[in-house]
Structure 1
């Protein structure tokens, strides 16, 4: 057995300079438990800590040391704060070690480690600490050395049972945690909030729970909705509340990313009346593909903000129409395979297109350059071209009207060839087919 005990940091009191509400210990512990589900399905809450049995997951994460480092490293990225992490053969022993500030409970026999811990490390023993201290007991080992019959008669069965369970002499029973199928969390604000930006401080606690819940499900989202209820002392013509829905360019559960994106949107929002309660609701939950870590050290520029997150923030500040990007379209015509659109439209509604299986030129000429001919053979720079491969027949566009074209629509009937010039340039040329307006050969692209 390999048990981990996660002891969350105590809530920090709010200050006047930072008007945030202190996190509810119950909500913080619940978020930590949901987050721990990504490492093992056997997760339970034990007093003020979260315990999980990870023996079956050690090989998946590369061994015990790698798993311990991953738990410590990713907790901060998820916005969670750990006061202590300890591991031992039993859950109660791991909790006792975490309270004592000791990490490793597997380096020596568990009896030797437990015997050296102070009385407060086990709750059942701590309840009788005053009387035990008068008997000369300072450590759990001192309590274990007392006569069991007399200890049970004077203090009941709880201290002995806790000691036996910590040492693995008695079985432990846990209620395994199961994350809910949908996420929705509420928070009653400690005071009336009139500025939308101040809501961001209170949303943090709900966002932590959301990201932890997503981590436990190995999933992500592309949208979330923040609802707020107006205070009862509002004007008559103001509604009961409002909502804000944000979308991300890709599926994510990154706390920092969602936190910054919410801040950008709330900075442009004006509340119609003071808010007294907020509610956070997740959008459609999708499986999040886990990417393999690089074998090489990360480059310095990789520590900066990812491009997708930067473009999202710019689209919020400058408007989506001023931040544009290219996207693939399902079309066989070279000039119609890509379309420039506003960044916001590349979110959940963006069309996923696959590239062509045929070679595609690096540079595209617009419009195509007509080539001269000699004995029905195309020439480039006064030299004949050598056709290497082809033809690739492209027909389409009959459904699109274009008044600028001679025939009034964008229909194409072309045979494309891969050609080699006398200067050893690889070219992409085509020959018009069945066209009453244009005949001959054209240069459409150049391969780099």
Structure 2
């Protein structure tokens, strides 16, 4: 070794991480593949063992895969969920050693130096890893060596009792072009490469090739960087005497909020969901959950929002411990504020107060949508999880009230001089139009199968301002909206 210190490194490679993650939640007996769009083509990103036995491979287009296997079940790839799952596996792997880091998008690397004796031997530890991952439904390939590069090589290319020098040059984590060029020179294994003259290799392939070789052989160090644990945004207080009054609980909550918000500010985060756990002397632990309409870390704004939930808690024989935790956090950069609370903050506080009573998802707002069809020109989204930061772009005025089309009597292409709508008689005083709107042919819509519509703004002599349209292809007149 480069420093005379013997190290023990284990590489954990999950070749079917994406498909195993999905199949753990929903088992599928037949062929299954994860699909990822690349260059406007759906290609296989990951697949189960059954699909591999049928001849499917990674990178194959979905169309070719279905030609080989019509029964193939597919699902879109979710790299974000795969990364979260790998992070969970990394935390689990710390049971074997504290020095665990990520190795690409589908692997982990462990520095188990000084930890193997806790399991009896390295072989027993590796057997335990294989057994636990197999019971969890995960496909795992393990590699163990005294360097990180060698452990990676054994995990990805090791077979039986092969030594490092017997493995192909691709086991040195080289790109495909370099591997092909080395094979054309007759350098097919790591042993062939290590015996070749170094100077010509460095001139042709650069220093990176020799660096990977030396790292695998142990001549050059290669650090293993463990992932830092995410900060825990939680505080708690144990009480010398049980309490039961709402005011007492709120005072303790205020004392817990201050250090929690300070920690959030230090990390540039804001809380979106807070949980207040009240442990009673009878071992019961009722919880008060507060879901905020926007990221917050101001104790004075958050504290009053707990009042409703705390007031409904049954304290029983008393509460002797209170724990406050920020379950969901979001980035909240520092902003310059004035002497008065801004209007968005007041609106977010109002949404949170109402949401504690009826559910924060039930408070919704209208958002503009990219469509020229009147019925599709808006979206309805939860106000707490959407931003009203854009306005409707319109070339011509639109009514504030839009409702399903209601037929009226009329003939011709001009608005009727007199018509009856909702059992009321109207006389047309002024009409502006027409504005022709064509259906969106790429979306199926039964309401627009009658073809184009010619819209008119009508000012009636009775004072009502209506939005009418005429369907030339299937003659008829309808009222669809009313201006304020």
Q: Give the TM-score normalised by the residue count of structure 2.
A: 0.39
Q: Give the TM-score normalised by the residue count of structure 1.
A: 0.42
Q: Which has the higher contact order (CA 8 A, sep 6+)?
A: 1
